[in-house]
Structure 1
Amino acid sequence: MYKGRFINRKGTPDSNMEASCKTETSRQKTPTVELSGATQLPQSTNCLACSEDGRYLGLGHSQGLAVWCASSLVCVAEWLQDRVEIASIQMTRMAETAYLLGTVDDMGVARVFVYHCEGIHLLSVINVMENINERRICSTFEVSGGGDYGAASISCNGALWLEVYHFPSGAWVTELEMARSQKQDPNSSGDEDVKWSPVAVVIKIKPPKIPAGAPLDGPLEVLQVTDFLTHCLALDVDTSSCQREEHASNTDAGKTNASPRRCTHHFLLPCGQVPGGRKAKPQSEGLPVAVCVWWSGSRNLLQYLLGKGSKNKPDVDPMPDVLWPNAKEILCSAVSRCTRYIALGLNDGLVCVWDRQSGSLLSVVLVSGTDGALFRMQFVDYWPVSADESQTFTAAEVHLLALCKSGAIHAVTTGRGTPSCTMQLSERPKHSRDLPTVTASVPFLQSLSLVMQRNGKMFLQDAINKTTVCFLIPPTTHLIASPCNPVYALNTKQQTLFIKGDQDPSCSSSSKGGSQSQLFVFRFGESDIVKQHIVSPPDSRQQQETCCVTLEETCDLYLQQRAQSVDERNKAIARTWKQLQETAVMLQQRHSRAAAS
């Protein structure tokens, strides 16, 4: 029922897609695989999420949420409430039989649920609307892997900040067992008899502000470390303020209010030396130890340690523990699965990669200066490596997918001791309908990425050979739902794609009543073409264990990496000098022509 089947349709695709389906040496058509219709979805299903172990699916819809078994696609639990439409959902395994769900509804209310023993319990409402005049609206809400922390972007009356919470997962598991025993008591009223442990705010992060009287003058070498931090923040705040004023002056009369600064954050696992001389505890390797944050219009990536919120006074904004400065404005960011590497997409087509283990810059790569600003990036989980690159110090090579606002997609390969290179996977589309809306690396497919376009077309693309492996299409009676914002989930354990589809309005059978959305399934292992690309995903836990080092080992690692990269750095210096000489000659010729005229 769920197995994808190969078909050869006689239809002729548009010229742009036909060109992308052909390689340079072959004119054969790219094969297509039809997705299987599994079952009907609840009314107005807005979002899907899959647990890390691949056992369950979380669905958010117009009347609440549901949890399905990912294998049988049978609903095992529901939480229903009128006028609560879940807009986004995330699912993570908190304990052996407990799965945490973080949701945001269409009114900007964030909630924390848990699925346990075939029941869904509401544990906490993150931003309770107590005063209608001071509505705290949540725009994004993320739960860390394992369910120990959460982070929400909150806005209220034009102000925006990031709140990071600690979830009492151990206490919740105990209380869940208590609720289960009370449920078996006929005189009990269920969850109403259980008082769930409250969520604690660890840290509240606002856009950086410079304290009055901060020492910003004087030579750079004279400034202390804290003064240098304040100096970078001051430059960042000043630049952001100028950009907002310029944006406001360019708007129409009567619309001069600048949009508030957006916040992007990532949870960070233990890696390298913790600021302050402390080393991460071995038992906390799976728990986040910090959160990195950047604000729209900013050039600095800020890192804040978790677990020190109690030391901060409520009326004092926390200062970042680590600052990663960049020469250009940050437009997008991504973190590797083991969180050792942080990639930043900067203005003017630059990609900057930081190495948290050594605390230094891994590389800066120019992706493209003609395809427009960078829009989104993602680390590629698996990339083929040679046998001599399996050692720790020589394996510092990362691979990224970079999507530009123009729709062009680039593959980036960089690292310490290895030459950086970029490769354009797809050119800028000629029509807006061909713009990619999803470009996702598939962890269990070697160098393959899943691409979805505005026109509803979906395919697997080989990032090495720059070829389209196959198209994934729904049955002839259906279309991919909301292709500009598709509702889908990847099950890494079961190697399965779940995606929402709607009936095609032009199909005659759609007028016979069954207009409810369908959940389509594609099992990658059942496709002969895709099966040859399946690999075992890398073990991020093993990578984390090699990251927890002392300060002395961090210095040794940095020196070894510098020694191994000396040839590449010398080549980079030579290339830079050559470019400078060529630029100087060009400017001199231009000046001579101007003087002669």
Structure 2
Amino acid sequence: MKKGKPDTDMEAACKAEESRVEALSLSRAAELPESTNCLTCSEDGRYLGLGHSQGLSVWFTSSLTCAADWLEDRLEITSIQMTSMAETAYLLGTIDDMGVARVFAYHCDTIHLLSVVNIMDDINKRSVCLTFELSHGGQYAAATISCNGAVWLEVHHFPSETWVKELEMVVSQTQEPISSGDLGVKWSPLSVATKIKPPKITAGTTLEGPHAVQVTDFLTYFSDLDVDTRSHQEKEQSFDTNAEKRKQTNESTGYCTQHFLLPCAQFPGDRTARSQRAGLPVAVCVWWMGGRNLLQYLLKKAPKNEPDVEPMPDMLWPNAKKILCSAVSRCTRYIALGLDNALVSVWDRQYGSQLSVVSMSAPDCAISRIHFADHWHVSTDEVRLLLVCKSGAIHRVTTGRGTKCCTTLLTERPKDSGGLPTTSASVPFLQSTFLVVQRNGKMFLQDVVNKTTVRCLIPPETHLIATPCSPVYALNTKRQTLFIRGDQDSSYSATPKEDDGQSHLLVFHFGESDILKQFIVSPPDSPQQEETQSFVSLEQTCNLYLQQRALSVDERNTALAQTWKQLQETAAETQQSCS
């Protein structure tokens, strides 16, 4: 029996924050495999993927029982993703503790190993996969590879349709489920669509002196200027005794960040979208750590006659300050960048220009994470962002073309390090709600419109949220369920039979709570798609651009009038303050 004890710190924090806020309890559902490091959920909500020591498993979300597993001794999966490849076939992308990325397929209650991304044939040229991201639909994957001090981004193209046929053929050849390792099937190989390296200064380019602007094009100039700026920063930091420590901290977060992009209307960079199925990415945007430029590359296969030619970016968006973090809207039309000096830049891919630049006037507003709250905004030219600062403060930003930016402080800087938010994620099926997990294990739902804490979520009294600095969780949008790993509370006094020390899967069903039913909405099944036109020539592209400009003249005049009005009001306020 459990001895009487005071409320846990988590419950006390919830009560102290707001006495009217009730705490909702998570339920202990199932025992997890040993060292479960990561969770993921399929888009249709039917399956849960688990990465753990000795391999990975796929569970039914309805019964929380194991559907299939793939096990290998002395192998520990540390990262896992899952996406639908066909109606009954799913792709899983994983990274293990040795930095090896693998691609699996789950089909007919069996997990098949399709490919190893970074095979290490030569131990002296050991490559390590730092990040591995699958695109929606399983057509592409982006892997950040490090080898002997060099780092690059590989975008792989998957033969998804061929894999589905091969999986169906395997099922037709056997009546009983057999481990994929015993089948000896030779799966179709994946191919490298694009290999992107960090930009380097082009030979013969002059960045200083009277001939600084005499370069071949602005794309080359801004790329070289970005590299030159980073080299100056490194030289300045070399005189700082703490520079090496900061450099190691920065490098541990990754060398580049990438996002897959869907078709977005008119620009020539998206003209290849006519050959793509709806909902599949056509480009990838990349920014490198310490850089200021956001680069876009089309997803196209490298030419067979020149496979080693370095691809040039199709679009370049320069920024005034160093990029710290990024996010892409659900429709991928907007790209938000958190910059140094507390700046936020939002780029509009449809118009190829900045939607707005926001300067955060709040003190200690060094941006660490940025999110789009685009599951519930209604205006196509208005975006709402959530900014998480290094200090722990959380801000909401509403901005748009020709409108005045509005910034609101949602959560103040915590008094101690335990209150720092380690995870913040949009809950698509709850209106204007984010899930926040703090370093002390406190977990709550934040209403980002009304600036209120909706409810606190607490584990059962026998468990604590595992690794709150990096919680192992997954949100099931279809079933409106939260899955999160919980570890046994060492202070809980239990019988030896109950105190097994094993981690458990904690579950919370949002739809079963009467308190949260008022917040539940139906999120869109797929990202909003922009109409994509086919382009044959530059003349047709220009004609379409001019037509769209003519159709939007009233909207642009209204935005211009609003901007002019804001300038006049700002000038009047400045004049009054000076007088």
Q: With structure 2 as the length reference, what TM-score do the two structures score?
A: 0.90
SS in 1 for 2:478: coil
Aligned-partner residue type, residue 512 of structure 2? E
Q: Structure 2: how far apart are the matches of 1:122 and 1:557?
A: 52
Q: Check whether the contact 1:88–1:105 (CA below 8 A) recurs between aligned residues.
A: yes
Partner residue of 2:524? 538
Structure 1 residues 575, 293: CA separation in 2 closer, same or farther (over 3 Å shift)? farther
Q: Please give the alpha-carbon distance, in whole angstroms, between the structure 1 residues aligned to 2:155 and 2:133.
A: 10
2:71 paired residue number: 80
Does residue 204 (structure 1) correspond to residue 190 (structure 2)? The answer is no
- Amino acid aligned to 1:402: L
Question: Is residue 2:510 matched to residue 1:524?
Answer: yes
* 1:241 matched to 2:231: yes
Question: Does the C-alpha gap of structure 1 residues 521 and 165 become closer, same or farther in structure 2, counting only changes over 3 Å?
Answer: same
8 Å Cα contact 1:381-1:537 kept in structure 2: no
Contact 1:263 1:295 in 2 (8 A): yes
- Which runs of 5 or more residues in structure 1 are unaligned? 1-8, 23-27, 390-394, 587-597
1:114 has 2:99 as partner: no
Number of matched residues? Answer: 562
Match of 1:3 in 2: none
**3-state DSSP of counterpart to 2:516:** helix
Residues 257 and 44 of structure 1: CA distance in aligned 2, closer, same or farther (over 3 Å): closer
Q: Alpha-carbon deviation of 1:234?
A: 1.4
Which residue identity lines up with residue 535 of structure 1 in the other structure?
Answer: V
1:574 aligns with 2:552: no
The change in CA–CA distance for 1:408 and 1:257 in structure 2 (over 3 A counts) is closer
Query: Structure 1 residues 454, 567: CA separation in 2 closer, same or farther (over 3 Å shift)?
Result: same
- Match of 2:235, as an amino acid? E
CA positional deviation for 1:289 = 0.5
CA offsets, 1:524-544, max 9 Å, x none? 111111110001113544x31
User: In the TM superposition, what are the counterparts of 1:98-497 in structure 2 within 5 Å?
Assistant: 98-184=89-175, 192-214=183-205, 227-251=217-241, 262-275=255-268, 278=271, 280-281=273-274, 283-310=276-303, 313-383=306-376, 385=378, 395-497=380-482
Is the 8 Å Cα contact of residues 349 and 374 (structure 1) preserved in structure 2?
yes
Question: TM-score if structure 1 supplies the norm length?
Answer: 0.87
Q: Which amino acid letter does the alignment assign opposite residue 565 of structure 1?
A: A
**Counterpart in 1 of 2:540?**
none
Q: Which amino acid aligns with 2:557?
A: A
After TM superposition, give the deviation of residue 188 of structure 1 in Å: 12
CA pair 15-147 structure 1, distance change in 2 beyond 3 A: closer
Q: Given that residues 202 and 224 in structure 2 are in contact (C-alpha distance below 8 angstroms), is that contact kept between their aligned partners in structure 1?
A: no
Equivalent residue letter for 2:545: L
For 2:559, which of 562, 565, 570 is the aligned residue?
565
AA aligned opposite 2:72:
Q
Does the CA-based 8 Å contact 2:11-2:23 persist in structure 1? no
TM superposition shift of 1:401: 0.9
Instruction: Tell me which moved more, 113-122 or 502-511.
Output: 502-511
Q: Is the 8 A contact 2:270 2:282 kept in 1?
A: no
SS in 2 for 1:320: coil
1:545, distance to aligned residue in structure 2 (A): 3.6
- Percent of aligned positions with the same letter in both sequences? 62
Question: Which AA in structure 2 matches 1:570?
Answer: W
Q: Secondary structure at the match of 1:284?
A: coil
1:477-501 CA distance string (max 9 Å, x none): 1111111100000000111100110
Alpha-carbon separation, structure 1, partners of 2:485 and 2:333: 34
C-alpha distance after superposition, 1:253-305 (max 9, x if no partner): 99898776710000000002343683621753311100000011111100000
1:154-190 Cα shifts (integer Å, max 9, x gaps): 0011111100000000110111112112333999997
User: Is contact 1:275–1:322 with CA below 8 Å preserved after alignment?
Assistant: no
1:130/1:241 CA distance change after superposition, 3 Å: same
* Distance in 2 between residues matched to 1:524 and 1:568, nearest whole Å: 42
* Aligned counterpart, 1:11: 7
Are the counterparts in 2 of residues 402 and 410 from structure 1 also a CA contact under 8 Å?
Answer: yes
Go from structure 1 to structure 2 and tell me whether the alpha carbon gap of 1:470 and 1:14 turns closer, same or farther (over 3 Å shift): closer
Over 3 Å counting, the alpha-carbon distance change for 1:478 and 1:561 in structure 2 is: same
**SS at 1:418 equivalent:** coil
Structure 1 residue 17, shift from structure 2 partner: 3.7
How many angstroms does 1:384 deviate by? 5.6
Contact persistence 1:417–1:566 (CA under 8 A): yes
Q: Distance in 2 between matches of 1:14 and 1:178?
A: 53
Q: Provide the C-alpha distance between the structure 1 equivalents of 2:235 and 2:7, rounded to a whole number of angstroms.
A: 52
| Offset from partner CA, 1:345-369 (integer Å, 9 cap, x none) | 1111111111111112111112344
CA RMSD of aligned residues (A): 3.0
What is the aligned counterpart of 1:21 among 17, 34, 47? 17
Q: 1:476 to 1:265 in 2, by over 3 A?
A: same
Q: State the one-letter code of the partner of 1:265.
A: Q
Q: Structure 1 CA distance, aligned partners of 2:332 and 2:245?
A: 41
Q: Secondary structure at the match of 1:161?
A: strand
After superposition, give the CA deviation of every residue in 1:93-132 in whole Å (9 maximum; x if it has no partner): 0001100000000110000000000000000000011111
- Offset of residue 415 of structure 1: 1.3
Give the Cα separation in 1 of the matches to 2:117 and 2:185.
18
Maintained 8 Å contact 2:159/2:190 = yes
Amino acid at match of 1:562: R
Report the AA paired with residue 17 of structure 2. Answer: C
Q: Deviations over 1:378-415 (max 9, x none)?
A: 11133365xxx5xxxxx311111110011100111111
Conserved? CA contact 2:273–2:532, under 8 Å = no
* C-alpha separation in 2, matches of 1:266 and 1:557: 31
- Over residues 421-479 of structure 1, what are the superposed CA-to-partner deviations in whole Å (9 max), with x where a residue is unaligned? 11111001110011011111111111111011011110111111111111110111111
Q: Is the 8 A contact 1:204 1:317 kept in 2?
A: yes
What SS does the aligned partner of 2:75 have? coil
Give distance in 2, aligned partners of 1:354 and 1:548. 21
From the superposition, tell whether residues 489 and 152 of structure 1 become closer, same or farther in structure 2 (CA, over 3 Å): same
Structure 1 Cα separation of the partners of residues 180 and 437 of structure 2: 47
Q: CA shift at 1:40, angstroms?
A: 0.4
C-alpha spacing 1:114/1:15, structure 2 compared with 1 (3 Å): closer
Give, in angstroms, the shift of residue 514 of structure 1: 1.7
Distance 1:560 1:70, change over 3 A: farther
Aligned to 1:506: 491
SS at match of 1:465: coil
